[in-house]
């Protein structure tokens, strides 16, 4: 099976599939545990509220299956936007635990920073820890963001891209074969295509 985009009802799936098509990569979409068990790569999208997303994932019996595939089987896994936040231990937005695949938490942008929340639009990013997902980026790199919560990793070795919006935050994260991107690669033109192609090219 190709890259599986997990459809739990809260993701920008059509745009993601279109971007993958543009780079010649096949994707499948499913929401059942058996499809997750068969997939060679997993992509967890997400737009919306943290607790609502985790409730849907848990109700579909997908939480433990995603953890097993990522941790026990080493399947390359990418979370996008809210999907990245779901990979962490939890969020200030809700009370439910996340998938716990990367030690981190999502925190709300404080209005005291004097900037509009949500953070919306193009933003420069900087490389942090080296990663196969970002190795192809040199010089000025920017992505399109839409988010009110940002991730802080516990260990800086898990931060692969940094961005700044009032505060410095983790724009992309990685722990072994598990990756997260806070921005929307499907809306980020050539930069997004490069990142998704890098994920598609990871060995599995």
Please identify which of the residues 34, 147, 184, 189 carries the catalytic annotation. Answer: 184
- Is 81 catalytic? The answer is yes
Please identify which of the residues 81, 93, 147, 158 carries the catalytic annotation. Answer: 81
| β-bridge partners, 44 | 79
3-state SS of 99-168?
Answer: CCCCCEEEEECCHHHCCCCCEEEEEEEEECCCCCCCCCCCCCEEEEEEECEEEEECCHHHEEEEEEECEE
- Is 119 catalytic? The answer is no
Please identify which of the residues 93, 186, 189, 204 carries the catalytic annotation. Answer: 186
Q: Is residue 72 classed as helix, strand or coil in its secondary structure?
A: helix
* 43 closest CA partner among 202, 203, 199, 201: 199
* 196 closest CA partner among 80, 30, 36: 80
- Is 147 catalytic? The answer is no
Q: Is residue 22 classed as helix, strand or coil in its secondary structure?
A: helix
Residue 190: partners with Cβ closer than 8 Å, 6 or more residues away: none
Active site members? 81, 184, 186
């Amino acid at each position: 099976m190709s890259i599986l985009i997990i459809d739990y009802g809260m993701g920008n799936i059509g745009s993601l599939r279109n971007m993958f098509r543009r780079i010649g990569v096949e994707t499948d979409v499913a929401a059942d545990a058996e499809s997750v068990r068969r997939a060679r790569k997993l992509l967890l999208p997400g737009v919306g509220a943290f607790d609502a997303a985790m409730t849907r994932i848990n109700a579909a019996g997908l939480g433990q299956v995603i953890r097993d595939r990522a941790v026990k089987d080493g399947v390359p896994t990418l979370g996008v936007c809210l999907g990245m936040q779901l990979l962490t231990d939890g969020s200030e937005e809700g009370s439910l635990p996340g998938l716990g695949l990367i030690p981190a938490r999502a925190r709300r942008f404080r209005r005291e920073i004097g900037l509009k929340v949500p953070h919306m639009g193009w933003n420069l990013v900087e490389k942090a820890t080296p990663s196969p997902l970002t190795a192809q980026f040199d010089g000025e790199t920017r992505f399109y963001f839409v988010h009110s919560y940002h991730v802080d990793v516990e260990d800086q070795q898990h931060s692969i891209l940094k961005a700044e919006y009032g505060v410095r935050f983790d724009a992309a994260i990685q722990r072994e074969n598990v990756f997260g991107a806070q921005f929307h690669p499907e809306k980020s033109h050539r930069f997004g295509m490069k990142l998704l192609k890098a994920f598609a090219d990871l060995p599995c």
